[in-house]
Amino acid sequence: MTKKLFVLTAVLALLLPLQAAKKTKPAEQTDREYWCSLAYKMAQPVLENMAKGELQKNMKTEFSPSFDNRDRSVVYMETFGRLMTGIAPWLTLPDDETAEGLQRKQLREWALAAYRNAVDPASPDYLCWGKSGQNLVDAAFIAESFLRAWDTLWMPLDEVTKQRYIKEFQSLRKIDPPYSNWLLFSSTIESLLAKAGAQFDEYRVNMACRKVEEWYVGDGWYADGPNFAFDYYSSFVFHPMYLETLQAMIDSKKSSRLDYQKYHDRALKRAQRYALILERFISPEGTFPVFGRSITYRLAAMQPLALIAWYEKLPAELTNGQVRAALTKVLHRMFDAQENFNDAGFLTIGFCGSQPDVADWYTNNGSLYMTSMMFMPLGLPANHPFWADAPQPWTQVKAWGGQPFPKDHRWNDDIQTRDKW
């Protein structure tokens, strides 16, 4: 063999494995596949364990360094209720034989078993109903998950389980909610009872609606009680639970002094305005401002933007492609580089990684499952424009990239409501 031929053979020997590697390189995940992988990673340890009645046995829990003296078993109710509010829309999609469809079907089966265990006194995973004022909060998130997937998660439950939920929900009236966003926890539960045809407290619904109207401060923002605080509680509670309370009352066909449809139409416009603001919060790098309490809820700060996308009610200034691209960038920024899960697969306390010192006195790692609320657009099918449209630059990418972008403007309500009698 000549020297030249020997060198050529050696080069080919080196190149062939590289070419083979290129051919076998796995296809890059689509945005939807990436979202689904994260949603499943977050949900699987919770629902698989709870379906077996083993969540309280196996969950690796974590509590704020300043956690108060409440019953620590609240962690399990927080974990389950908050997770389900985020993934409920996804579980409403019909079964199919895709990898996503099989995972979704499995999660739904686990979730229905977990719902049964949550109210079965004989189950090791019977939740701590009525042991703490905190239970009002997380019972409301369970109720909210039913409202988001009524035909998929509430209707298939057996009658015994439904009656157990109704009894547990009604028993929480003994809890006097603080004069704050907590009024919406009561109204969410009561509106679910109304929709289910059970006895409900109209006063708790209507008083919450009246107070939310009093606390509206303009341009899409709500104050959490009589005094405004600059935080994300308009995202965490006010916009979603106010809209869902009103929609459930519309669905129940209950008549009261309040015109629930007009209230809902106005609340929806406010949520659309607020969603537009949230989109503008997302930087070109996929970060958003970190301020206020409960920041460990992570991506729940973006909940109204995700909710309005799922409702297919994005404001005219926002396209499906830009909202998906922006939210996907945030997911990558938060979950690709930092460790947000402990070695048992459950969320860790922090904002972007393990950062226990940013926790509030009421925070445990069950609280953090509110971050799942950004997954609501998974409730749109894969061929929906939210997923099928090409990614587009979002507002801050355009603004900081020297591209034309829509200027912002002042916004006001244009719907007036008066008591019907």
Which residue did the predictor score with more confidence, 315 or 132? 315
> pLDDT value at position 379?
98
- Tell me what the mean pLDDT of segment 196-222 comes to: 98
Closest-CA residue to 301 (of 349, 372, 362, 246): 372
32 in any annotated domain: no
Q: Is the pLDDT of residue 142 over 70?
A: yes
> pLDDT value at position 10?
47
Q: Which domain holds residue 351?
A: 47-255+293-307+341-380
Based on the structure, what is the number of domains in the chain? 1
Read off the tokens for 363.
Answer: 């925070």
Closest-CA residue to 324 (of 352, 295, 286): 286
Phi, psi at 217, each rounded to 5°: -110, 0
Q: Is the pLDDT of residue 220 over 50?
A: yes
**Average pLDDT value for the chain:** 94
> pLDDT value at position 416?
93
Parallel/antiparallel/unpaired status of strands 216-218 and 221-222: antiparallel
- Tell me what the mean pLDDT of segment 373-397 comes to: 98
pLDDT category at 25 given cuts 50, 70, 90 is low
- CA angle (400 as vertex; 397, 406 as ends), nearest 5: 70
The percent of residues in the chain predicted with pLDDT above 70, rounded, is: 94
pLDDT category at 130 given cuts 50, 70, 90 is confident
- Tell me what the mean pLDDT of segment 361-389 comes to: 98
- Tell me what the mean pLDDT of segment 371-395 comes to: 98
Is residue 51 within 8 Å of 117, Cβ to Cβ? yes
191 in any annotated domain: yes
> pLDDT value at position 14?
45
Which string of DSSP letters, residue by residue, matches 128-165?
A: -TTSSTHHHHHHHHHHHHHHHTIIIIITTS-HHHHHHH
d(CA 394, CA 375): 19
> pLDDT value at position 337?
82
> pLDDT value at position 15?
47
Q: Which helix (H) or strand (E) holds 10?
A: helix 3-24
> pLDDT value at position 193?
98
397 in any annotated domain: no
Q: Is the pLDDT of residue 24 over 60?
A: no
140 in any annotated domain: yes
d(CA 178, CA 233): 15
Q: Is the pLDDT of residue 402 over 60?
A: yes
> pLDDT value at position 4?
52
149 in any annotated domain: yes
> pLDDT value at position 259?
98
pLDDT tens profile 42-95: 999 999 999 999 999 999 999 999 999 888 999 999 999 999 999 999 999 999
d(CA 197, CA 213): 27
421 in any annotated domain: no
pLDDT category at 27 given cuts 50, 70, 90 is confident
> pLDDT value at position 211?
98
> pLDDT value at position 70?
87
- Tell me what the mean pLDDT of segment 258-275 comes to: 98
> pLDDT value at position 26?
60
166 in any annotated domain: yes
Is residue 387 within 8 Å of 98, Cβ to Cβ? no
> pLDDT value at position 12?
47
Burial (0-12, 13-18, 19+ Cβ within 10 Å), 42? buried
pLDDT tens profile 161-205: 999 999 999 999 999 999 999 999 999 999 999 999 999 999 999
103 in any annotated domain: yes
pTM of the model: 0.93
- Tell me what the mean pLDDT of segment 377-401 comes to: 98
